[in-house]
Chain A
Amino acid sequence: DAGVTQSPTHLIKTRGQQVTLRCSPKSGHDTVSWYQQALGQGPQFIFQYYEEEERQRGNFPDRFSGHQFPNYSSELNVNALLLGDSALYLCASTLLGGSSYNEQFFGPGTRLTVL
């Protein structure tokens, strides 16, 4: 089991550009969440995808959008990049459902640098 995988590992963009980050969930998981981790900070929740729909969204502007595919993999898109978007973007997956909480597993992240 490869766990949660993310691509690319690193990315450098300039202000105003658009970027797409990709995530493959852990085998057997159906839910993907995205987090932004600025340097020296804790991860901040961006949004969560389940059954190909956005279920919940954190305090992020509409420049941040996502998609989930039928195989449960997901993409995070950021438009009109700002310097402040430079961060580690983490993907987490879990199996949703039932009355109990199922652990979320995090990927290694994509380091985005905006110049």
Chain B
Amino acid sequence: QQQVKQSPQSLIVQKGGIPIINCAYENTAFDYFPWYQQFPGKGPALLIAIRPDVSEKKEGRFTISFNKSAKQFSLHIMDSQPGDSATYFCAAINSGGYQKVTFGTGTKLQVIP
């Protein structure tokens, strides 16, 4: 059962563009939503995270938008750079439970110079 659905599977943007990655979840027990960035040969690294009582969170060039009623959230990367080329995973966690991370399927982003 895919509890966190992510789209698109891949994305190509020009430098300076604003790639947007979308995710949707089913389990209403999830209450913490991190995004991870993964480069080839490396483990996932936390990029930014949000709780559902907040509709938007910005950290540097990265912004999460959260729609609790629709059970959807998205990542926007402002002024994207070639160094942002990586695979991005949305995730969801039930912080009151065992705190396992439920990942989306991933989006491979390529930023063209």
Known: A48-B100, A100-B95, A101-B95. A42 touches B106 (CB 8 A): yes
Given that A42-B89, A101-B95, A106-B44 are contacting pairs, would A92 and B101 also be in contact in the complex, using a CB cutoff of 8 Å? Answer: yes
Contact flags B26-42 to A (C-beta < 8 A → 1, else 0): 00000010101000011
> Which residue in chain B gives the minimum CB-CB distance to A58?
B100
- Please report the C-alpha to C-alpha distance between residue A55 and residue B99 in the assembled complex, in whole angstroms: 11
The answer to whether B106 touches A56, judged by C-beta atoms less than 8 angstroms apart, is: no
How many residues on the A side are at the interface (Cβ–Cβ under 8 A)?
A: 26
Which residue on A lies nearest to B102, using beta carbons? A45
B83 contacts chain A at the CB level, 8 A cutoff = no
Q: Does residue A40 face the partner (Cβ distance < 8 Å to B)?
A: yes
A109 close to chain B: CB less than 8 A: yes
B93: nearest residue on chain A (CB-CB)?
Answer: A101
A25 is an interface residue with CB less than 8 A from chain B: no
> Which residues of the partner chain A approach B100 to less than 8 Å between Cβ atoms?
33, 45, 48, 56, 58
Given A43-B44, A90-B43, A90-B44, A104 contacting B99 (CB threshold 8 A): yes
Chain B window 45-63, contacts with chain A (Cβ cutoff 8 Å), 1 for yes, 0 for no: 1100100000000000000
Q: Is the CB of A42 within 8 A of B99?
A: no
Cβ-defined contact, B98 with A55, below 8 A: yes
Instruction: Establish whether residues A48 and B98, one from each chain, have CB atoms under 8 Å apart when the complex forms.
Output: yes
Contacts of B102 in A (CB 8 A): 45
* A interface list, Cβ under 8 A from B: 4, 33, 35, 40-45, 48, 55-56, 58, 90, 92, 94, 96, 100-101, 103-109
Residues on B lying within 8 angstroms of A by beta carbon are 6, 32, 34, 36, 41-46, 49, 89, 93, 95, 98-106
A-B contact pairs, 22 of them (CB 8 A): A33-B100, A42-B89, A42-B104, A42-B105, A42-B106, A43-B89, A45-B101, A45-B102, A48-B99, A48-B100, A56-B98, A56-B100, A90-B43, A94-B99, A96-B99, A100-B95, A101-B32, A101-B95, A103-B49, A104-B99, A106-B45, A109-B42
